[in-house]
Chains A and B, each alone.
Chain A
Amino acid sequence: MPRKALDREMEKVKRDIMEMTELVSKAVLKAIAALEKNDRDLARKVGIEDDLINEYETQIKKRSIQTIALQQPVAKDLRIISVSMDVAYNLERIGDFARDIAMSLEYIDDGYVILEEITKMGKLGAQMVRDAGDAFVNERKEKIDTIMQMEDEVDKIYKSVFPILKKSVEGGEGKCSNALNLILISKFLERIADHSVNITNRAMYEIYGKEEYL
């Protein structure tokens, strides 16, 4: 006896999560590209597109609540629906960080130098978002290892960037405010990696039905 209505809702929720993942991952890449190229138009675009990401979160949560109320899912079905709300929340937070990174450009003076490490963190973060979304939507448990490796790498880069920027601030090399903004940006990127790990964590709960924090 299939449950067509419930299956339809779950497919729709997963499709929405996949689209949201794609938007958020691209937002991170665009924010970094805007920084790299000092492209203020692109930065503003990231800000505007964040509204769409927020709307996805609202719709996914609304749909999930309705599905629980009307279809009363249990077991794996319930895990999929409840996890989709957690995933949407984490993606929305990542979207906010991407927006904040892009918006930082407004406070950075022309002539700043973006560290190569920050660009690398951004690219890793975007890939982590994509892989975490994939782990949930397609139940790809083999993604854990690669995501955790990327998380380690992001952490390592973050720890290496901080002393460099701190030195810039203390030594008065270049504009102090630029260095402070870059410290914030690296922190946002480190948080993006953390939220991607949260999503992976929820995907593992979806798959295995156990709470095991990574």
Chain B
Amino acid sequence: MSMEKIIVRELNLWYGEKQALEDVNMQIRENRVTALIGPSGCGKSTFIRCLNRMNDRIEGVRITGKVEIDGKNIYDKDVDVVALRKRIGMLFQKPNPFPMSIYDNVAYGPRIHGTGDKKKLREIVEDGIRGAALWDEVSDRLETNALDLSGGQQQRLCIARTLAVKPEIILFDEPCSALDPIATGKIEELIHDLKREYTIVIVTHNMQQAARVSDYTGYFLLGEMIEFGKTKKLFENPHKKETEDYITGRFG
């Protein structure tokens, strides 16, 4: 039985006057994949960005409520946001490798966090690339520019870059929407493997993807979390009519 890694309590968020999240409560379990689904503008990306305080950087944002990670509210004044974000990796819709070599992309994080030893660094880079299921494809060309990789490889490189700083949680915000089905399949397989060591939260527009990769699913609508539960249950027999309408494609 896994434990709760993240507990969200009464979370509200406003962009200026507009409320984007309303009283969201959620328990995210350790070593499980939690998917967030819902129509565009429902607040799911806003929500996931609350989990590593990415919204702090947006002007006019006001947040109330708590996000507790391992029991500590990350919105407490004494929280070091840089240290927090080291614990929580994030992947985005569009792969965003740095314009440098494959090796340097993965080594970037450990270097800025103080790993200077070359042998140690090489081990971290290899572990990261292997962990992202990319090693067999790039091991003989680590010095080539990361931008020469395919979209799917670039996304896995970004995962490798995330793994290299040894996070505890990985947030995926629409990680496959710019990828073809084969690259998508590889990322999904990877997410499945990664949950052994990490707690994963994924935002996706693709409901079949949520059904395939996640253990728990939350359905958001107009800033509220309408339903949260085991993915198997939610896709077989959802509790709320709003959820049924959305997942069966009869929404709107």
Q: Residues on A close to B: CB < 8 A? A: 1-3, 6, 72-79, 208-210
**A82 (CB) vs chain B CBs: closest residue:** B236
Q: How far is the CB of B221 from chain A (nearest CB, A)?
A: 14
B211 on the A face (CB < 8 A)? yes
B244 on the A face (CB < 8 A)? yes
- CA A79 to CA B249, docked complex, whole Å: 15
Q: Which of B204-223 contact A (CB under 8 A)?
A: 207-208, 211
- CA A209 to CA B238, docked complex, whole Å: 9
Query: Is there an interface contact between A75 and B247, defined as CB atoms closer than 8 Å?
Result: yes
**A78 (CB) vs chain B CBs: closest residue:** B236
Q: Which of B237-252 contact A (CB under 8 A)?
A: 237-238, 244, 247-252
Query: Is there an interface contact between A72 and B248, defined as CB atoms closer than 8 Å?
Result: no
Q: How far is the CB of B239 from chain A (nearest CB, A)?
A: 9
B235 on the A face (CB < 8 A)? yes
Which residues of chain B are near A209, meaning CB under 8 Å? 236-237
Which residues of chain A are near B208, meaning CB under 8 Å? 72
Per a CB cutoff under 8 Å, which of B236, B247, B250, B252 touches A79? Answer: B236
Query: Is there an interface contact between A75 and B250, defined as CB atoms closer than 8 Å?
Result: no
Q: Residues on B close to A: CB < 8 A? A: 207-208, 211, 235-238, 244, 247-252
Per a CB cutoff under 8 Å, which of A1, A6, A74 touches B247? Answer: A74
Q: How far is the CB of B233 from chain A (nearest CB, A)?
A: 9
Which residues of chain B are near A75, meaning CB under 8 Å? 235-238, 244, 247-248
Which residues of chain A are near B248, meaning CB under 8 Å? 3, 73-77
Further pairs besides A74-B247, A76-B248: 8, Cβ < 8 Å: A1-B250, A2-B250, A74-B235, A74-B248, A75-B237, A75-B247, A75-B248, A76-B244
Query: Is there an interface contact between B235 and A3, defined as CB atoms closer than 8 Å?
Result: no
Q: How far is the CB of B193 from chain A (nearest CB, A)?
A: 24
Question: For B211, B236, B238, B244, which residue has the most chain A Cβ atoms within 10 angstroms?
Answer: B236
Which residues of chain A are near B251, meaning CB under 8 Å? 1
Q: List 6 A-B contacts (CB under 8 A).
A: A74-B248, A75-B236, A75-B238, A76-B244, A79-B237, A209-B237
**A6 (CB) vs chain B CBs: closest residue:** B249
What are the nearest 5 A-B pairs in CB distance? A209-B237, A3-B249, A74-B235, A1-B252, A74-B247
Which residues of chain B are near A2, meaning CB under 8 Å? 250
- CA A209 to CA B240, docked complex, whole Å: 13
**A73 (CB) vs chain B CBs: closest residue:** B248
Q: How far is the CB of B234 from chain A (nearest CB, A)?
A: 8
Question: For B244, B249, B251, which residue has the most chain A Cβ atoms within 10 angstroms?
Answer: B249
- CA A79 to CA B250, docked complex, whole Å: 16
- CA A73 to CA B248, docked complex, whole Å: 7
**A208 (CB) vs chain B CBs: closest residue:** B237
Question: For B237, B247, B251, which residue has the most chain A Cβ atoms within 10 angstroms?
Answer: B237
- CA A1 to CA B247, docked complex, whole Å: 12
Q: How far is the CB of A14 from chain B (nearest CB, A)?
A: 16
Query: Is there an interface contact between A3 and B238, defined as CB atoms closer than 8 Å?
Result: no
Which residues of chain B are near A79, meaning CB under 8 Å? 236-237
- CA A78 to CA B249, docked complex, whole Å: 12
- CA A129 to CA B250, docked complex, whole Å: 33
Q: How far is the CB of B208 from chain A (nearest CB, A)?
A: 6
- CA A74 to CA B233, docked complex, whole Å: 11
**B207 (CB) vs chain A CBs: closest residue:** A74
Which residues of chain A are near B236, meaning CB under 8 Å? 74-75, 78-79, 209
Which residues of chain B are near A208, meaning CB under 8 Å? 237
- CA A210 to CA B250, docked complex, whole Å: 22
- CA A72 to CA B206, docked complex, whole Å: 12
- CA A76 to CA B207, docked complex, whole Å: 15
Which residues of chain B are near A210, meaning CB under 8 Å? 237
Which residues of chain A are near B249, meaning CB under 8 Å? 1, 3, 6
- CA A77 to CA B252, docked complex, whole Å: 17
**B247 (CB) vs chain A CBs: closest residue:** A74
- CA A3 to CA B207, docked complex, whole Å: 15
- CA A210 to CA B233, docked complex, whole Å: 10
Which residues of chain A are near B235, meaning CB under 8 Å? 74-75, 78
**B239 (CB) vs chain A CBs: closest residue:** A209
